[in-house]
Amino acid sequence: MGVKCKLEKNCLVAFLEGDLDLHTVKGIREQVDAALEKSGARTLLLDLSRVSFMDSSGLGFILGRYRFLRERKGRVILVSPRAQVRRVLALSGVEGIMEICASKEGAYQLGKEEGDNDHP
């Protein structure tokens, strides 16, 4: 699993690639949390377009970032999940509490409409 984090349009975008599972989630969490702390961003876009598999550990990672940002009046937007990952999100109920966008551009627009992209 790989992750690259980049600040774009006042959103932290985490580009995830590979499997998001028990064996990879700890390193991903550390990198994303460090990037969130450094950037001060209150909107996290998790680009899931290259995630081929996700288990309950991956769901825990996503929900942990959701809780962290929710406490800070922020948000997590999931971007472009593949069909298998989308099924996991739907079955777990995550789809009902987080926004899912087909593209980063759509996610940026959601952030602008809510007005919570600003740094604290």
Give the Cα separation of 3 and 109 in Å (integer). 23
How many Cβ atoms are within 10 Å of 67's Cβ, its own excluded?
10
Partners of 13 in the beta sheet?
Answer: 6, 45
Query: Higher pLDDT residue, 56 or 120?
Result: 56
Average of per-residue pLDDT across 61-84: 95
**CA separation (Å) from 10 to 30, 41, 43, 55, 89?**
20, 6, 8, 29, 26
From 48, 44, 70, select the one nearest 59 (Cα to Cα).
48
Instruction: Write the pLDDT tens digit of every residue in 22-33.
Output: 999 999 999 999
Q: What are residue 53's phi and psi, to 5 degrees?
A: -150, 145
Q: How confident is the model at residue 113 (pLDDT cuts 50, 70, 90)?
A: low
Domains and CATH numbers, the chain: 2-112 (3.30.750.24)
Would the pLDDT of 64 be above 70? yes
